[in-house]
Structure 1
């Protein structure tokens, strides 16, 4: 009799737990489905100009969620020569910004894409492999300033050597996905800005810059020629990595 009672209690507890989980999932889904589909934004805006709206919407999902990444959200023709963002750091419509928030209690990301037409597209993603994600610094540089630094340091000279068909930019606490010298500061807030050359070029060279997103220091600069990535500036070592003699003399024409 005691064994039967034990199994009845265990079975009832299991059913109750499942019911509570289903109710929680239903409630979470209802909150997500009711997130605003529009914003007060109109026209092209910089990365920081969209933060307030993104945080307002994210707080409806989870008040404890924090901003982990801001990234250009490309909405142009993937087969065209639309750079997605100007060299002044503002998206070219219809492209906008993606704001990724992390909820530690939920173990999920909320990804909000805000576009110049005032729309907001929301997605939720599992963060099971990124539970150690850290918040982006509140004082991260705006995209306009980040692009100004990128242009003044390496970008403008790079563009004089050949066409740039697309730009990629994100402010994040995740390391660069193109490798390079290791960052001695874990979870540093960085701006990662890429200058992408047309795929049709016989000799294609892309430029990757990583800046400290708070003080603007140029941390690393890399060039990718047909999949071969080389570091041309290592700010962690506080020294310039020399190029080949032909490149140092300015003979790196892209065709």
Structure 2
């Protein structure tokens, strides 16, 4: 690192500290109807009751995320292709029965309703959840839940397609009172993590659901890449830091 004045070192420290904060609070995602949004710092992803292409257009947007404490936690973009047949579960298709023990403390408003996704004509469509703005190389314990009160016979699968991790499956969404999917995932060096949501075919069609997702940071270390230079217009100075990686210890 080049020699710098005490003033510039102080400026650099002040600029760096906010970007190196890795939260230990989970990111909680409530999928489904806006009428059933969970209270508290849950991130609602819904289609405003729309279906088909209109719903796809609505959901293909960028959602700013907060963690359980209400602090900014990156951004989520939900993506799909035109082959996806999906929508919000109607009230008579929501599962209001008992939930898995692993979801103790999660309100029913976050787990009763959700999205359905349907495979038809031998084609398995995909819906992607692309996270950005996460701490670099952060490991998360991912938990997801799927349930329907009607016709939820399909396997619901989440797979890691950008980042590290294998994903997991729930064998059936129909009146699911016992099963959640759990796996570990790690963000990339630039803080990206993408999860694909699919319903593998059973014969030529299948129907599944996705109601709730949580990403809980795993205690340990996360690595945040420091930019090679920092410019502070207020003092007209450029501080060269070189290429460095800072390891955050929790």
Output the TM-score relative to the length of structure 1: 0.25
Higher relative contact order structure (alpha carbons within 8 Å, sequence separation ≥ 6): 2
Output the TM-score relative to the length of structure 2: 0.25
Which has a greater percent of helix? 1
